[in-house]
Amino acid sequence: MTLVHPPTGDTAPEAARAALAAARAARAGDLDRRLAALLAAAGDDVPGRSAPPATPPSAAGPSITGPSTAGDAGPSGLALAAVGSHGRRELTPGGDLDLVLLHRGRPDIAEIADRIWYPIWDSGQRLDHSVRTVAEARTVARTDLKAALGLLSARRIAGDHTLVDELRAAVLADWRADARVRLPELAALCRERWERQGELAFLLEPDLKEARGGLRDVHVMRAVAASWIASAPDGRVMAAHDLLLDIRHALHESTGRSTDRLVLQEQEAVARAIGLPDANMLLSAIAEAARTITYAADHLWRRVARSTATSRAPVERRPVGDGAVEHDGEVVLARNADLSDPALVPRVAAAAAQAGLPLAPATVARLAGDATLPTAPWPPQARDALVSLLGAGPAAIGVWEALDQAGLIVRLLPDWERVRNRPQRNPVHRFTVDRHLVETAAGAAALTREVARPDLLLIGALLHDIGKGWPGDHSTSGAVVAHDLGAALGFPDGDVQVLETVVRHHLLLPETATRRDLDDPVTIDTVTAAVSAVPGREREILELLAALAVADGNATGPAAWGAWKARLVAELARRAAAVLSGGTPPPPPVLGPDRLALARHDGAAVRVTGSRITVAAPDRPGLLWRAAGVLALHRLAVRTAHTVSSPATDTGTAVLDFTAVPEYGAPPDPAALEADLRRMLADRLDVADRLDRRARSVRIRPGAAVPPPRVMIVDDASDTATVVEVRAHDRPGLLWRIGQALGDCGLHIRAAQVDTLGAEAVDVFYVVDGDGAPITDPAALAAVRARVLDALG
């Protein structure tokens, strides 16, 4: 399988990016010459002078009317300076031109400015401009943080050298003098931007400039360096910056407009423009660049915080672990640290994470360059240190990132290379594969007291999706990788088998709980059979899987995990544990007296208690899916649906038990629900028409690709019913449409499990024929599948 990262030395990306850089340089030079000519012509103080004649468009950039000859000469006391991207010679095709016209108080400055600005506007170039004296610009910079950032990078284009030199010297002097006040303001501004834009490395449609880890952060780092509080961005950061700049350039050329958001439909074209084979490689390259910038920025802001603090404690060295000490808020190596000790790297990392402190970059660099790393099988001290690192919880994430930036993680765990910065093209996932694994392990740290083997939980969480770097089913391939890594880490054979089983079945509980009927004995048998792969350790494996499901779901994102799914997984684990203990599965939940009383209600009745909705109504074919359609009209998203049998109900009434949550806002009024249910039963409510109108009102973004639905007959999932699994794009009334199709086939829905992952629904139906038996005829099953697909369009 091709690795995530492009091979080093690949000439295609290098050539493509060199061409983009050359185009920017040529465009910057052409713009400078034309702007210089405009200033020279505009400053010629001749009353009634008309605007200069237009010239043909330049091949190197947008046309700006004015003489095309380059010149350094200009009127005395005038200068034209570029700030922003053109000031840094980084102007991309869709970027704005940001200019400052400096003067020494000329009375005709407004006329001169018009002679410069209007030709630029006429050319179609986007322009941000200002006219200032040095004193005025200095005042603006001291009161407007964004203006100060721009003026710090001011570059003279033409005119009086001394004006631009005076401006830069004044702004720099003020910036350094006010650093203790301005830099905390700048930090707050950055945090607000990050909150709005998100983290570039983990977004499917990122803003290349404004997201955390984007181009703006490098510009800010340069500004902080100008205060002399921190060093300028190093070569790795600037290489990451240049890559993002090239991608932004290609995006502007591809779209023909000014945009910094790399939407999905543009990613393939942009990838080709910079010499990468596909969009996945592009997102991987962006993730790596953004994480490099973010890591450096985090260190910079810690330094700023220490330097600008109003009061500082004396700097002391405090031991935090064997070979590690705290120094000025960071963990560094102790003077007597033994670099030949193979457990040193994981032990120092664990000490930092357990203390809640970052590793000093110089320490990380020394560990990467000089420390001996453990070899397979790892000594117990090194393995225990790795477990201790993961057991620190969220504090482990920053430490892990520091090791990763130094290349230590792939040297410690070679299979990590295949998932490093690997994108997950699924809006349900918040992170790249490698970051998701670390986030899952950090979340699992809070669950270690709920399992017999916390170490296997943490390592299993770290490796559960490691198979996504290999072809095929990631659970199957991941089990093989986990077996090999478990052995390399020095775990005994029995523990290695447990790790392999946990990784192979890490989706067992959440998928079974949300897609199978928990009251069907086959469901519990499926779980107990899977956890019996290592004899004598069934309960242990079940505990690990239950805890891992929680950590994995939370690390994936809110669309993948919630209170409803958590309850189902916990209930499934409880029932499986009861069977493993030699007991019998708990009986299906029965309705309480208040719910059973509904069955004696005349006509129809509804009771709403939280997310549980019980409906009693005269029995009729298709009642369950018809009632689900009424719930959909009231903007309730059905999660589970069951026909509840009880001796207490009379033969003419059915009791339906739903779990449903509002799509948004407060739950509906039970009286209104009951009224619509009665109308539906009396055939006075056209549910299908109203649901169609709702579906038509849902706006789908142009270009959004919706994969076709899939309908599968799941064999061996039940002995008493046929299990039909439907995967489709979620929309209002989906359960209604599927149920109607099943009803047209003469089938009755005994139970339904509904799971929604982002915009995708995974709905499972337990159906029986008119005699209450499962369907076994292949032709009939094929007809059911075709009818449901037809209903889904």
Buried b (16+ CB within 10 A) or exposed e, 335-358: eebeeebbbbbbbbbbbbbbbebb
Using an 8 Å Cβ cutoff, are 421 and 284 in contact? yes
Asked whether residue 250 carries a pLDDT value surpassing 90, the answer given is yes
Type of residue numbered 161:
H
Nearest to 78 by CA among 138, 167, 158, 166: 158
Of 194-198, 557-561, 764-768, highest mean pLDDT: 194-198
Q: Where are the beta strands (DSSP E) in 134-252?
A: 155-159
Q: Count of CB atoms within 10 A of residue 316's CB?
A: 9
Residue with tokens 């920017």, as numbered in its chain? 24
Question: Which element (helix H / strand E) includes 752?
Answer: strand 748-757
- Mean pLDDT score across all residues of the chain: 87
CATH architecture of 327-580: Orthogonal Bundle (1.10)
CA distance 620 to 255: 57
Greater pLDDT, 559 or 18: 18
- What does the pLDDT read at residue 44? 67
DSSP state for residue 426 in the 8-state scheme: -
Nearest to 339 by CA among 371, 377, 382, 381: 371
CA distance 459 to 456: 5
3-class SS of residue 615:
strand
Q: What angle do CA 40, 44, 47 make, to 5 degrees?
A: 150
Question: What is the rounded average pLDDT of the residues 611-623?
Answer: 81
- What does the pLDDT read at residue 512? 94
CA distance 614 to 673: 11
Confidence of residue 68 (pLDDT cuts 50, 70, 90): very low
* Torsional sign, CA 418, 421, 424, 425: negative
Nearest to 466 by CA among 492, 488, 438, 493: 438
Alpha carbons within 13 angstroms on the beta-carbon side of residue 655 total 23
For 593-792, give the CATH class: alpha beta
Asked whether residue 134 carries a pLDDT value surpassing 90, the answer given is yes
Q: What angle do CA 370, 376, 377 make, to 5 degrees?
A: 125
Q: Where are the beta strands (DSSP E) in 329-461?
A: 330-333
Structure tokens at 584: 């019998």
Domain ranges in the chain are: 29-57+75-177, 180-308, 327-580, 593-792
CA distances from 541 to 446, 499, 514, 545, 576 (A): 18, 9, 20, 6, 11
CA distances from 623 to 24, 157, 287, 643, 671 (A): 67, 77, 50, 9, 19
Q: Count of CB atoms within 10 A of residue 447's CB?
A: 19
Greater pLDDT, 696 or 57: 696
Using an 8 Å Cβ cutoff, are 631 and 639 in contact? no
Q: What is the phi-psi region of residue 689: left when phi exceeds 0, alpha when psi lies from -120 to 50, beta otherwise?
A: alpha
Structure tokens at 302: 């810690």
Following DSSP, what letter does each residue of 399-413 receive, concatenated? HHHHHHHTTHHHHHS
Sequence-distant (≥ 6) Cβ neighbours of residue 464 within 8 angstroms: 437, 440, 478, 502, 503, 506, 548, 552
Q: Is 29-57+75-177 a CATH 3.30.460.10 domain?
A: yes
Question: What's the pTM value of the predicted model, to 2 decimals?
Answer: 0.81
For 180-308, give the CATH class: mainly alpha
Q: Count of CB atoms within 10 A of residue 226's CB?
A: 18
Nearest to 223 by CA among 145, 299, 163: 145
Using an 8 Å Cβ cutoff, are 566 and 550 in contact? yes
Crossing angle of helices 161-177 and 179-197, rounded to 10°: 90
- What does the pLDDT read at residue 447? 94
CA distance 400 to 368: 13
Counts of helices then strands in the chain (DSSP H, E): 30, 15
CA distance 116 to 112: 7
Q: What pLDDT, in 10s, does the model give residues 178-220? A: 999 999 999 999 999 999 999 999 999 999 999 999 999 999 9
CA distance 252 to 241: 17
Question: What is the rounded average pLDDT of the residues 393-419?
Answer: 96
Residue with tokens 């000089």, as numbered in its chain? 370
Confidence of residue 559 (pLDDT cuts 50, 70, 90): confident
Q: What pLDDT, in 10s, does the model give residues 722-736? A: 999 998 877 777 888
Structure tokens at 130: 């200002």
CA distance 37 to 318: 63
- What does the pLDDT read at residue 622? 82
Q: Count of CB atoms within 10 A of residue 44's CB?
A: 13
